[in-house]
Amino acid sequence: MENIKERNSAGSIIAVTCLLSLLYAILRYHIMGPVPWKDFPFFILNKGISLSAFILLTFNFSLGPLKNLGVKVGLGWLNARRALGMTGFLLVLIHALMSFMLFKPSIYGKFFEENGMLTLMAGLSMLGGVIGFVILWAYNLSFQTHMSEDKIFIQFITSRKFLLVALLFGIAHVFFMGYEGWLNPEGWHGGLPPISLVAFAFCTLGYIVNLLGRK
């Protein structure tokens, strides 16, 4: 019989999150939108991966504070936080590598000037993404055995302010990346919000929960 104290729902949470994120990307861009199916293996898959990453990281940062606010959070979800955070970080890494390969004027023309340089909004988005990634990388280091003995490092990395900064840069990344499309609902494929807007809303809610509930 499963020990209730060891119950961990990470596997099911990760599987459902990834599946729903990917299905949303397929529905919005392939079924309701104009993106051809040949672009699924890289372009659309990357969008699904990015949404999954933001949702899992938000779960990691917010489940504890949500419980502190009096919301009932299952023990299996609370025990899953570390796995959710590490999986989210790995998905962010995959997303970053895929995006680096895709990030060119022929695909993301709106983010480039005529001379090939990044626009201001694209630069701010990339900056937020890079800083957010470095912060998440440092956070994941805190779980390494050889780092866990450094109490000062652990206290800083897992502090409330450090985690809130990580969330803030993640929110900035998706905001500057997609806010122009958010302002044009008429252009939403099938009336479905852009993935960047879904991620922004989810992360913002998580940020508020952290702000109010983390001790």
Dist CA 163 CA 12 (whole Å): 25
Residue 14 has a pLDDT of 97
CB atoms within 10 A of CB 73: 16
Dist CA 173 CA 167 (whole Å): 10
- Which of the four pLDDT bands, split at 50, 70 and 90, describes residue 26? very high
- Which of the four pLDDT bands, split at 50, 70 and 90, describes residue 50? very high
Residue bearing tokens 């990834």: 18
Dist CA 136 CA 120 (whole Å): 24
Strand partners, 118: 112
Residue 205 has a pLDDT of 93
DSSP structure string for 138-165: HHHHTTSHHHHT-HHHHHHHTSHHHHHH
pTM of the model: 0.83
Dist CA 30 CA 170 (whole Å): 26
* Choice among 23-37, 57-71, 137-151, 163-177 with the minimum mean pLDDT: 137-151
* DSSP symbol at 107: T
Question: HSE of 194 in the Cβ direction (CA atoms, 13 Å)?
Answer: 16
SS3 118: strand
Residue 85 has a pLDDT of 85
Q: Which two tokens stand for residue 177?
A: 């990346």
Residue 1 has a pLDDT of 46
Quick one: which of 81, 95, 83, 62 has its CA closest to 167?
62
Q: What are phi and psi of 103, to 5 degrees?
A: -75, 90
Here the CATH number for the domain that contains residue 104 is 1.20.120
- Which of the four pLDDT bands, split at 50, 70 and 90, describes residue 32? very high
The radius of gyration computed from the CA coordinates of the chain, to the nearest angstrom, equals 18
Tally of helices (H runs) and strands (E runs) in the chain: 9, 0
Tens-place pLDDT, residues 100-159: 888 888 777 777 887 778 788 777 777 777 777 777 676 666 655 555 555 665 566 556
Domain count, the chain: 1
With a cut of 60, say whether residue 208 has pLDDT above it.
yes
- Domain with 170, as residue range(s), is 4-213
- Which of the four pLDDT bands, split at 50, 70 and 90, describes residue 47? very high
Quick one: which of 7, 3, 44 has its CA closest to 195?
44
